Amino acid sequence: MESQPTAKALHNRINSNISQLLQRFENIMATATVENTSHTSTAVETYQLDVESTALVRAAEDILSLTRAMKETWLFGKLDTLGEDERDVKRREELEGDAEAVQKVIEEGGLLK
């Protein structure tokens, strides 16, 4: 099985996919606004529109496959893209301290007396 993606790799892939979508859409709009009536230019524009729309669909499919992979990774708990900030660290330490205090009280039998 392939290794799990890092948060930076996922962000890079997301940014790349978004820029591809925008670039392909811009190319389609630029091609569609050309005002030339010759049959040759119309045929070239039609071909360009076909190529760009195929690439646009391919970029959208790549984003869908990325979201599916991220969902699967999150489901199995192997993706940590958020990390911990200071508040999360402090909260975790407080919870660990509370758990240790409860464990100590239970072990000493103070809870049952």
DSSP line for 65-113 = HHHHHHHHHHHTT----S---HHHHHHHHHHHHHHHHHHHHHHHTTTT-
Is 1 domain-assigned?
Answer: no
> In the prediction, which pLDDT does 9 show?
82
What's the average model confidence in pLDDT over 26-50? 86
- C-alpha 81/C-alpha 99 separation (Å) is 27
Average model confidence (pLDDT) across the chain? 82
Domain count across the chain = 2
Domain residue limits at 63: 7-82
pLDDT of residue 35 exceeding 90:
no
Handedness of CA 39, 41, 44, 45 (dihedral sign): negative
- 28 and 53 share one domain: yes
Band of the pLDDT at 101, cuts 50, 70, 90?
confident
> In the prediction, which pLDDT does 80 show?
58
- 33 and 70 share one domain: yes
The two counts, helices (H) then strands (E), for the chain are 3, 0
